[in-house]
Amino acid sequence: MGIRAVLFDVGGPLDTEVLSEAIVDRQIHEALAACGVVVDQDAISMASDWAVAAFAPDAYRAMIWRLSGGDAARAEEVFRIFRAGADARYAERGGFELRPGIAGLLAELHGRGLLLGLAANQYARAVEELDRHGIGQYFAHREVSGHHGYRKPDVRLFLRACEDLGVEPAECIMVGDRVDNDIAPARLLGMRTVLLRAGRHFAQQPRSLDEVPDFEVRTVEEMRTAIGRLLDR
Q: Give per-residue pLDDT as tens, 145-156.
A: 999 999 999 999
Q: Which pLDDT value is given to residue 1?
A: 72
- How far is CA 218 from its chain centroid? 15
Secondary structure class of 194 (helix, strand, coil): strand
Cβ proximity of 81 and 35 under 8 Å: yes
**SS3 per-residue string spanning 3-65:** CCEEEECCECCCECCHHHHHHHHHHHHHHHHHCCCCCCHHHHHHHHHHHHHCCCCCHHHHHHH
Please determine, for residue 122, whether its predicted confidence score (pLDDT) is greater than 90.
Answer: yes
Task: Give the closest residue to 8 by CA, choosing from 168, 166, 152.
Answer: 152
CB atoms within 10 A of CB 173: 23
Cβ proximity of 186 and 174 under 8 Å: yes
Spatial separation of the C-alpha atoms in residues 210 and 205, rounded to whole Å: 12
Task: Give the closest residue to 225 by CA, choosing from 105, 62, 64.
Answer: 105
Please determine, for residue 95, whether its predicted confidence score (pLDDT) is greater than 90.
Answer: no
Q: What is the mean pLDDT of residues 183-191?
A: 98
Please determine, for residue 64, whether its predicted confidence score (pLDDT) is greater than 80.
Answer: yes
**CA-based radius of gyration for the chain:** 18
Sign of the Cα torsion 10, 12, 13, 19 reads positive
Encode burial over 1-29: b for 16+ CB neighbours within 10 A, e otherwise: eebbbbbbbbbbbbbbbeebbebbbebbb
Cβ proximity of 119 and 176 under 8 Å: yes
Mean pLDDT of the chain, nearest integer: 96
Residue 92's pLDDT band (cuts 50, 70, 90): very high
Cβ proximity of 182 and 193 under 8 Å: yes
Which H or E element spans position 82? Answer: helix 72-84
Please determine, for residue 100, whether its predicted confidence score (pLDDT) is greater than 90.
Answer: yes
Phi, psi of 152 (to 5 degrees): -60, 145
Q: Which pLDDT value is given to residue 233?
A: 84
* Residue 105 vs residues 12, 100, 135: alpha-carbon distances, Å: 15, 10, 10
Q: Could you tell me how many residues make up the chain?
A: 233
